[in-house]
Amino acid sequence: MDVKAVLRLRWVQALIVLVVWAVTATALKGVQTQELSTATDSPFTAIMRDAAAAIRGNRAESPLFIYFFNPIRSVITGFIEIFMGVIAVPAPGNVIPMLGWFGTLVLIGFIVYATSTLRMALVSMFLLFLCGMLGMWLLTMETLAMTIGAVVLSLAIALPLGVWAGLNDRVMKVLRPWLDLAQVLPTLVYLAPLALVFLIGIASATIATMIYSIPICIRITALAIKSLRQGPIEAAESAGSTRWQLLTKVQLPMAKTTIILAINQTTLAALSFVVIAALIGAPGLGKPVIEALTIRNVGDGVVAGLAVVLLAVMLDRSTSAAVNRDQSGYAAADAAKVRRRIGLAIFGVLTLIAIYLSRYLLWFAVFPEQLIFGEYVAEAANALSEWITDNLGFLTVTGSEQFTVWVLNPLQDVLANSPWWLTLIAITLLAFILAGRTVGILVFVLLALVMATGLWNDTMLTLAMTLIATGFVVIIGIVLGVWAGRSARADKFLRPLLDAGQTMPAFVYLVPVLALFGPTRFAAIVLGVVYAAPVVIRIVADGIRQVPKESVEAAVSAGSTTLQVITKVQLPVSRRSILLGVNQGLIFVLAVVVIGGFVGAGGLGYLVIVGQSKPELAGKGLAAGIAIVLLGIILDRIAQGRPQKSPQGRH
C-alpha cells in the first residue's frame, strides 16, 4: 500500500490529529485555558445572572407572570393536589387522606384488574403492600399521585400531537428537532430555569416531568400511526369515510396496542423523573433519597430507592399486561366474558367495602406500624456500606488514585489545560474526519458557542469525565451484552439487575460511591458507568440476538472457536446496535456526570448545582446548563458517525 492510500484511511487521519494534538497540548500546558474561578462571572454568565435576578424581581408584578405563568402554576398545582388529597396527603388536621391505605390498595388492584388480569391485580397489590412494609406508604402514594397527574397531563398533550405527527409528515418535521433535543438534554439542566419561572414546588416538578416524558410519548404514538398497514385504511377511504371517521374508527383502534405501549413508557419516564424532581420540590420518595445524601444515611436512601423500584415494577408490569390483554382479548369466548364481568362486579363491591373500612378503622386507615420492617432494611444497608468502605476502601482509593494520575489527568491536560483554540481546532477536525463536513461545521459552531458562554474550561473538564466513563461503559456493555445475547441463562441472571439499575435513582448509590472513592472526579465517572451500563448492555444483547442463526451455525461448523464466532461474526454483524449503544451510552453518561457535581467532580455539574442554591451564582448555573446541552449535541452528532441515521427511541 502506498503512503497516499494509507493517509486516506479515516482512522489514520484521526490518529494523526490525536498525536499532533497531544504533543502540542503538552508543549502549551496551562496556556490560555480559559479557567474561571467559581465566584467570577464571564460576560455571558453576568447577563444570565442579571436576567435571573430580573425574573425573580418581576414574578410578583409582571403581567406575563400574573396572567400567564402564575395561572399555569395554580392550575397544575391544583390538578396534582386532587390526586394527592385522595390517596396521599391528609387535609390539615387530618390523619389520613380521603382514602386510607387499605382502600387505596384495593382500589388500585381493581383498576389494574379492570385493565388487565386478576393475577396482575394481585401482584400489583402485593408490590404496593411491600412499599407500605418498607414504611414508605404515604411517600409512595405521593410519588404515585405525582406520577399519575404528570402522566395524565403529558398524555393530554402528547397523544394528540403524536397522532397528528403520525398522520402528517410536515408536523413531524417541525417536531423532530425538538424531540431530538429533548433526548440529549440531561434532566438536571432544565430544573433551574423552571424553578425560576414556576418557583419551587409541585408545579415546577410536574412540568419538568412532562418535558421529560412527552417526547417519548409523541415518538411512539407517531410511529404507531405511521406504521399501520395501509390495506384497511385504503379500503375505508374508498368506502367514503371522512378523515375523522378514518382516524377514530380505523387508525386509532389499529394502533391501540402501540399507543398503550406509549402510555407504559410515558409512565416509567415520569416515575424515573419524579425522584430527580425532588430537587425542585416534588414531594414523595425522592425526598428521602436526596436527604440521604445530605445527611449521609445510605440506609434511608436505599429503603426509599427500593420503594421506587417496586413502584416502577408495578406500573411497568400492570401497563404491559394491559398491552398483552389488548392483543389477546378479542378472541375470548363468551363464557369467559361473562365470568370476567362477574369477577369485576365482585371485586368492585370488595373495593367499596375496603374504602369504607379504610376510613373508619384505624388498622385499615394508617399502615400498621407492626408490619413495617423498613428500619431493618436501612440498618442492614448501612452496615453493608460501612463494611464495604472499611474493607474495600483501600483498594478502591488506591485504584482510583492511580487511574486519576495515569489516565484522567493526562486526558484532562490535553482537553482542558491546553489552549482553548487548540482543543477547538482538534475536536472540529475529528468531527470532520469521523462524521463528515456537515457535522464538522455544526460542531465548530457549537464549540464556538461553548466558548461564548465563558465556561470553556468547565465544559472540557466535564467532557474528559464523560469520555472516560463512556469508554468503561462501552467495554462493560460489549462484554456483558455479548454474554447476555449468547446465553439465555446469563440473560435471565442479568435482567433483574438491569431492571433495578435502570429504575434505581442515581442518587441512591451516590453515597456508597462517595464512601468508596471520596469526593473525586473518579466517583463521578463510576456514577456515570453504573447508570449507563444497563442501557448499553441491553442494546448490545439485542443486537447479538438478532444476528441470523444461520451465520453463527455456519461459522461453528466451519470450525471457528467461540472467540472467533464472537469477533468475526456476531460483533461485526451487530455493528449498528453497538454504535447505537455507544451513542446512547454517551448521552446517559453525560446526564449523570452532571450529578457528579454532588460528589466533588466539579465541572459543569457543580455549577448547575451551585447556581441553584446561590442566587449570586444563578447566572453561572444557567450558562452551565446551556453548555451541557451544547456538549450533548456535539457528542451525539459525532457519535452518530458518517451516515445520517437517527437513534431509536430511549428504552
Partner 1 sequence: MKRVGKGAGLVVALATAGLALAACGGGTVNEAASSSAAPAPESSAAPAESSAAPAPADCGSWGVAMHAWVGYTASAQVLSDVAREKLGCDITQTTLDEAGVTYDAMEAGSVDVIIEDWGGGRWQEWVDRGAIVEVGLNGNVGLIGMYVPQWMCDEYPDITDGTKLNEYADLFKTPESGDKGAWLEGPPGYTTIGEKLIEANGLNYKIINTGSEAALIEAFTKGNDNKEAVLGYFYEPQNFLAKVPLCRINFPANDWTDAAKASGLTDYPETPLVKLATVKLMDSGSPFATLVQNFEWTNEDQNQVALDIESGMTPEEAAQKWIDANPDKVAAWLEGTGAS
Residue 95 binding partner 1, by CB under 8 A: yes
**How far apart (Å, rounded) are the C-alpha atoms in residues 397 and 127?**
38
Q: Give 263: exposed, middle or buried? Use CB within 10 Å, 0-12, 13-18, 19+.
A: buried
Cβ–Cβ < 8 Å for 536, 585: yes
- Which of 472, 598 has the CB closer to partner 1? 598
Residue 155 binding partner 1, by CB under 8 A: no
Residue 645 binding partner 1, by CB under 8 A: no
To the nearest whole angstrom, how small is the minimum distance from the Cβ of residue 35 to partner 1?
Answer: 11
Q: Give 428: exposed, middle or buried? Use CB within 10 Å, 0-12, 13-18, 19+.
A: buried
266-to-181, 536, 597 alpha-carbon distances in Å: 17, 21, 28
Q: Which residue has the cell 456483558?
A: 480
The single residue among 107, 268, 302, 381 that binds partner 1, judged by CB under 8 A, is 107
To the nearest whole angstrom, how small is the minimum distance from the Cβ of residue 257 to partner 1?
Answer: 12
- CA quadruple 42, 46, 48, 53: dihedral, nearest 10: 150
Residue 35 binding partner 1, by CB under 8 A: no
Residue 420 binding partner 1, by CB under 8 A: no
Q: Give 71: exposed, middle or buried? Use CB within 10 Å, 0-12, 13-18, 19+.
A: exposed
Site size toward partner 1, by CB under 8 A? 94
∠ Cα 621 623 629 (to 5°): 105
Residue 37 binding partner 1, by CB under 8 A: yes
Residue 276 binding partner 1, by CB under 8 A: no
Give the sign of the dihedral formed by CA 412, CA 417, CA 421, CA 422: negative
The single residue among 200, 449, 500, 573 that binds partner 1, judged by CB under 8 A, is 200
Give the chain's count of helices (H) and strands (E): 32, 0
The single residue among 115, 258, 324, 551 that binds partner 1, judged by CB under 8 A, is 115
To the nearest whole angstrom, how small is the minimum distance from the Cβ of residue 390 to partner 1?
Answer: 9
Residue 264 binding partner 1, by CB under 8 A: no
To the nearest whole angstrom, how small is the minimum distance from the Cβ of residue 610 to partner 1?
Answer: 4
The single residue among 128, 136, 179, 638 that binds partner 1, judged by CB under 8 A, is 136
Residues numbered 166 to 195 that lie near partner 1 (CB under 8 A) are 195
- Which of 130, 199 has the CB closer to partner 1? 199
Segment interacting with partner 1, rule: CB under 8 A, options 128-136, 211-219, 231-239, 535-543 = 128-136
Q: Which residue has the cell 408545579?
A: 203
The single residue among 15, 26, 32, 38 that binds partner 1, judged by CB under 8 A, is 38
**How far apart (Å, rounded) are the C-alpha atoms in residues 549 and 570?**
10
**How far apart (Å, rounded) are the C-alpha atoms in residues 84 and 283?**
10
Q: Which residue has the cell 438534554?
A: 185
The single residue among 71, 78, 329, 572 that binds partner 1, judged by CB under 8 A, is 329
Residue 360 binding partner 1, by CB under 8 A: yes
Residue 372 binding partner 1, by CB under 8 A: yes
Amino acid at 161: L
Residue 244 binding partner 1, by CB under 8 A: no
Residues numbered 536 to 575 that lie near partner 1 (CB under 8 A) are none
To the nearest whole angstrom, how small is the minimum distance from the Cβ of residue 488 to partner 1?
Answer: 34
**How far apart (Å, rounded) are the C-alpha atoms in residues 453 and 489?**
50
The single residue among 366, 388, 467, 573 that binds partner 1, judged by CB under 8 A, is 366
DSSP letter string over 319-367?
A: HHHHHHHHHHGGG--HHHHHHHHHHHHHHHHHHHHHHHHHHH-HHHHS-
The single residue among 22, 46, 55, 59 that binds partner 1, judged by CB under 8 A, is 59
Give the rounded distance of the alpha carbon of 453 from its chain centre.
26
Give the rounded distance of the alpha carbon of 212 from its chain centre.
8
Cβ–Cβ < 8 Å for 298, 249: no
The single residue among 89, 151, 571, 638 that binds partner 1, judged by CB under 8 A, is 89
Residue 308 binding partner 1, by CB under 8 A: no
- Which of 278, 541 has the CB closer to partner 1? 278
The single residue among 215, 281, 440, 585 that binds partner 1, judged by CB under 8 A, is 281
The single residue among 180, 316, 401, 491 that binds partner 1, judged by CB under 8 A, is 401
Residue 627 binding partner 1, by CB under 8 A: no
**How far apart (Å, rounded) are the C-alpha atoms in residues 431 and 632?**
14
Residue 256 binding partner 1, by CB under 8 A: yes
To 10 degrees, what angle do helices 43-58 and 420-453 make? 20
Q: Which residue has the cell 402528547?
A: 158
**How far apart (Å, rounded) are the C-alpha atoms in residues 121 and 125?**
6
To 10 degrees, what angle do helices 169-184 and 137-167 make? 140
| Residue 386, all three cell numbers | 460501612
Residue 520 binding partner 1, by CB under 8 A: yes
- CA quadruple 505, 511, 515, 516: dihedral, nearest 10: 0
Residue 415 binding partner 1, by CB under 8 A: no
- Which of 290, 480 has the CB closer to partner 1? 290
- Which of 133, 424 has the CB closer to partner 1? 133
Residues numbered 309 to 328 that lie near partner 1 (CB under 8 A) are 326
Residue 295 binding partner 1, by CB under 8 A: yes
Give the sign of the dihedral formed by CA 234, CA 240, CA 246, CA 249: negative
Residue 361 binding partner 1, by CB under 8 A: yes
Residue 232 binding partner 1, by CB under 8 A: no
Residue 96 binding partner 1, by CB under 8 A: yes
Residue 110 binding partner 1, by CB under 8 A: yes
**How far apart (Å, rounded) are the C-alpha atoms in residues 168 and 136?**
46
Segment interacting with partner 1, rule: CB under 8 A, options 494-502, 538-546, 594-602, 638-646 = 594-602
- Which of 88, 446 has the CB closer to partner 1? 88
- Which of 19, 338 has the CB closer to partner 1? 338
Residue 597 binding partner 1, by CB under 8 A: yes
To the nearest whole angstrom, how small is the minimum distance from the Cβ of residue 322 to partner 1?
Answer: 9
**How far apart (Å, rounded) are the C-alpha atoms in residues 266 and 149?**
12
Q: Which residue has the cell 486526558?
A: 411
Residue 344 binding partner 1, by CB under 8 A: yes
- Which of 7, 91 has the CB closer to partner 1? 91
To the nearest whole angstrom, how small is the minimum distance from the Cβ of residue 571 to partner 1?
Answer: 35
- Which of 329, 496 has the CB closer to partner 1? 329
For 587, phi then psi, to 5°, come to -65, -45
Segment interacting with partner 1, rule: CB under 8 A, options 137-145, 263-271, 473-481, 642-650 = 137-145
35 Cβ contact list (under 8 Å, min separation 6): 457
- Which of 106, 175 has the CB closer to partner 1? 106
- 3-state class (DSSP) for residue 487: coil
Residue 109 binding partner 1, by CB under 8 A: no
